[in-house]
Structure 1
Amino acid sequence: MIKVDRPKDSTPKGFAAAGVKERRRNRIAKIANEKMKFAAYSTKSVRDKLDKLFGRKCAFCESILAGTQSGDIEHFRPKGAVIVESAVPGGDPIKKDGYYWLAAKWPNLLISCADCNRPRTQPDYDNRKRVIGKANYFPLVDESQRATGPRGLRNEEPLLLNPCVDDPAEHLVFLDDGRIEPAIIDGELSPKGVASIRYLGLARAELLQMRARHRRIVMSAIRHIFAAMKEGRDPGTDLEDLVKLLSPDEAYVAYTRALVRQHMSPYLEELRLV
């Protein structure tokens, strides 16, 4: 996951007006205890803007979406319902009202791969099968501060990383082999790092395999660059390939940056890489 700047003027054309109408209808439906409907966010213009903003990658795990799946338009704060884990060990999860008033708010929309977003049984980092996927989970530091309306948002402190708000590099650390761990902040594991790895499945086995394949490509470029510099040659296309792999639109950029910092630290300033 990398930090992504969302320009203030990037809202899709017509989306704000459609959202106002939808929120008005849903407020009436909620009062009447009727089912709310959400459609304004699912238009082609919204998807196209999200594709461009996130470079056709999952906003969470950075897997490329093009050619394999279209990706899910993801509500950072769930629109219909929120699932809260029971404070009692082994207790049933609790279902609460979602953030329906944010269903058509541009800052609340991301794009995600199905594996990060939809709950399904997957092998985790330890090869044990678990239900992984954000779904309607949205943990907070203090559950008693969960918002029930727009004004309450100021008191919430989410535990999941939002790549358009947080800098994931402050909370997540990549090991050389592609494993991911929470960063240490003031001597403690980052709570946001812990929660994001868990609920988004950032350490799931299949993702670790993809990062391992990616590592071979990155390290091949690094070795060729080292060989060229040792022989006094211009790294040429190998350096160009590595620079491309560091582009925000490429897959697993956060991991690529970690590999470059770890293996090329003496040459970073000379090559102007990171």
Structure 2
Amino acid sequence: MIQISAAQKGPPPAKLVETAKQAAAWLLEYNQFASTGLSASQISKNQEEYLAKLEISSKSYAPNEVKAQLVACHYGKCAYCETRIIHSHYGDVEHFRPKKGVTFFDKTGKMATIADAYFWRAFDWNNLFLSCGVCNEQYKKNYFGLLPSLTATAAEQQYLGVGPLKVPTVAEKRQSPANPNLLEQAILIDPGVDEPRALIRFDVRNGQAMPSPIINLLQGDKALAYGRTAKTIEVLGLNRPALVEARARHLLSLHLLLIPILGDLPALQQFVQFGALCDKQKDTLVPRSDPLANVLAQAATAAGSNKASKEAVLAFGRLVASIQPWAEYTALSLDAIVTWSIQEFERVRAAVTLQATTQASGGSANIGATHSLAPRLPASLSTTLEGQTQDYRQIVAHYCKDRWTVGTEEKADQSAMRVALHGELNTLIEDYEAAWKEVHHRAKAFKTQEAVMRHGFLKEEVENYQEQFARGIEDASEEPLLLACLQKVTESLTPLFKELLASTDLATALKLVTQGSKLLRVDIPAFYALCIKDADTKKAHSDPMAHWLKMHSFFVERVDHTLGKAHISTFVKDFMEEAHDNFVELYNRFTDVVVRYRLNSLYNKTVETRANPLKQAIQAMIQHVRDHVAGKPTPTHAPLVAISLIRIVG
């Protein structure tokens, strides 16, 4: 969960400004039911009838313009759980204060409802966020509790268990139609107002959300702050099993990036230097991704300048990308990288202390003097490390020697890691079998269903192009001209693409392409040309639009190629090359798993008897596909190595 400030969201979309006037009219009408001369029961009945008739349509608060701006400012991520959702779902336009009625726990602990709460904020831009369906529909729903007033009793505070970090003047009552602008403080962390990083952190061992350790360093009621964090985690389901599992996988992918960094001296030096900075500020730092990403990027550049390996520089770059605001699970990545860098800094600092003590006692500190890494010391690691040793190889050798030693207290972690690796190897086996079946199913279909295959490839071209547009729009969030250009092109192509993807045969698809020929071949290229000219006139960067013009031209060529110009053998070759890439990716995943088995001293005879058949099977399929693409004689079906029975149990 990260802050989505008003500056990041930008001004409200024009359509939302218009619909906000409707909310003001509702508020006025609703309050008129409280006119003098009516009995309390009649007023209540009138209000109930008014609310029953009140329809708040998603077409009003979530038109395309609004959703597009939310997707852009949220980088396609859920505001609550930070899962990237636009690859599989359009996302929900979530009302932080529910748009029509709220549920909450009253002071007695019972569930209470307020039917007329917050309908006037249905179109409030500051109240809208992009959310995944799980956070919005299964967890938060219509919950919206308030912090206790400043005069709350000790018992009330203990029950509610929530409170602000600072102590503002908090109204004792909730906003109402009669007083819609009353100051109130939500129990839930508001990503548009609060700084979630000051309240929520993540356990980098398992990906679980937890109260931030720096709560104790901030002013205000600490018990209430902890309670507020815990309530947010509970209500939003931030520790639901599937989400924690996804975070754990993300942590694993990040941890793999450390292997080339920790095995390369220039890269390790810079990573430790970054850890020294984080360690120095850890008691006061509220880590935000932007400044730390810049510092880590500088460390990555310095590692490259100091002749770090290509693998280490690439891994550094991926770590930098993982803590950018637009990355998935930014807050989790930030916590992990900060924690790991501090751990590496502390390991190196301990090694330096050991070396200094050994030399002072007249002993030998020549640990790993033949280490192949060159002796370099970071220019400004920290005062702890400066000037204490002339040979950095000894520190790194001691560090590497100690790093992978498994003590008694780590046996449980080792067992958990073994189980996780077994699971990955079993998944690889399943993925291999699925890929093998796909190859032969598709190869057979090419011989009997050319039109079906040609139609299928056309749909794949359209889907790939749509995905490119989605990524392009996301990347162009800070380039107004390019963003406007891509959005216009997307709007123009969407109807045609929708019909193409809904088509069921090649003849229908061909007819649709023919009908849209002018749009594809004339209108869109002409529009790109105008945008490029406009960019040059405004002295803006026109290269990105020129790039998209080339991409569009290439897409049109592929459409023509698919619909008639290409011989069926071309499709076979394209598919087999794709299959080759899939099997190579499987082999790379296999290699990665084996490397992690070896690094953690878990690779044994049992694992080998299971891993070797899978390795041979993947290699056999890679060679089979290569022979097919090269036109060499190949059997109709390459032998499927019997690997179904080699899954690891326990």
Q: Same fold (TM over 0.5)?
A: yes
Report whether the alignment pairs 1:136 with 2:139: no
**What is the aligned partner in structure 2 of residue 45 from structure 1?**
65
Structure 1 stretches of 4+ moved >4 Å: 150-154
The answer on whether the counterparts of 1:73 and 1:110 sit within 8 Å (CA) in structure 2 is yes
Report whether the alignment pairs 1:161 with 2:189: yes
Structure 2 residue corresponding to 1:81, chosen from 95, 101, 105 = 101
**What is the aligned partner in structure 2 of residue 233 from structure 1?**
308
Can you give the 5+ residue segments of structure 2 that lack an aligned partner in the other structure? Answer: 34-45, 150-171, 217-221, 270-306, 346-377, 379-650
Q: For CA contacts below 8 A with separation 6 or more, give which structure has more relative contact order.
A: 1
Structure 1 residue corresponding to 2:241, chosen from 201, 205, 213 = 205
What is the Cα deviation at residue 84 of structure 1? 1.7
Report whether the alignment pairs 1:57 with 2:77: yes
Relative to structure 1, is the Cα distance of residues 191 and 230 closer, same or farther in structure 2, using a 3 angstrom cutoff? closer
d(CA) in 2 for partners of 1:21, 1:195 = 34
- In the comparison of the two structures, how many residue pairs are matched? 254
**What is the aligned partner in structure 2 of residue 5 from structure 1?**
5
Q: TM-score, normalised by structure 1?
A: 0.84
**What is the aligned partner in structure 2 of residue 28 from structure 1?**
29
What is the Cα deviation at residue 6 of structure 1? 2.4
The answer on whether the counterparts of 1:58 and 1:65 sit within 8 Å (CA) in structure 2 is yes
Deviation string 1:100-120 (CA, Å, 9 cap, x unpaired) is: 11111111100111111113x
The answer on whether the counterparts of 1:26 and 1:37 sit within 8 Å (CA) in structure 2 is no
d(CA) in 1 for partners of 2:196, 2:21 = 32
Q: TM-score, normalised by structure 2?
A: 0.37
1:209 alignment partner, SS class? helix
Deviation string 1:230-266 (CA, Å, 9 cap, x unpaired) is: 5962432111111111111111110000000100136
d(CA) in 1 for partners of 2:115, 2:26 = 20
What is the Cα deviation at residue 216 of structure 1? 0.9
Relative to structure 1, is the Cα distance of residues 237 and 138 closer, same or farther in structure 2, using a 3 angstrom cutoff? same
What is the Cα deviation at residue 76 of structure 1? 0.6
* Counterpart residue identity of residue 116, structure 2: D
Higher strand share: 1
d(CA) in 2 for partners of 1:93, 1:238 = 51
Deviation string 1:2-22 (CA, Å, 9 cap, x unpaired) is: 112222742112321221134
1:161 alignment partner, SS class? coil
**What is the aligned partner in structure 2 of residue 103 from structure 1?**
122
Is the deviation greater in 21-30 or in 167-176? 21-30
The answer on whether the counterparts of 1:142 and 1:156 sit within 8 Å (CA) in structure 2 is no
The answer on whether the counterparts of 2:117 and 2:177 sit within 8 Å (CA) in structure 1 is no
Relative to structure 1, is the Cα distance of residues 243 and 162 closer, same or farther in structure 2, using a 3 angstrom cutoff? same
**What is the aligned partner in structure 1 of residue 209 from structure 2?**
180
What is the Cα deviation at residue 151 of structure 1? 4.7
Higher helix share: 2
The answer on whether the counterparts of 1:146 and 1:153 sit within 8 Å (CA) in structure 2 is no
Deviation string 1:126-149 (CA, Å, 9 cap, x unpaired) is: xxxxxxx10110111128421114
Is the deviation greater in 16-25 or in 164-173? 16-25
Relative to structure 1, is the Cα distance of residues 94 and 29 closer, same or farther in structure 2, using a 3 angstrom cutoff? closer
**What is the aligned partner in structure 2 of residue 94 from structure 1?**
113
d(CA) in 2 for partners of 1:221, 1:154 = 49
d(CA) in 1 for partners of 2:130, 2:202 = 22
Can you give the 5+ residue segments of structure 1 that lack an aligned partner in the other structure? Answer: 120-132
* Counterpart residue identity of residue 207, structure 2: G
What is the Cα deviation at residue 224 of structure 1? 2.1
Relative to structure 1, is the Cα distance of residues 142 and 174 closer, same or farther in structure 2, using a 3 angstrom cutoff? same
d(CA) in 2 for partners of 1:94, 1:19 = 25
Percent pairwise identity: 26
The answer on whether the counterparts of 1:71 and 1:113 sit within 8 Å (CA) in structure 2 is yes
Relative to structure 1, is the Cα distance of residues 82 and 43 closer, same or farther in structure 2, using a 3 angstrom cutoff? same
d(CA) in 2 for partners of 1:247, 1:74 = 23
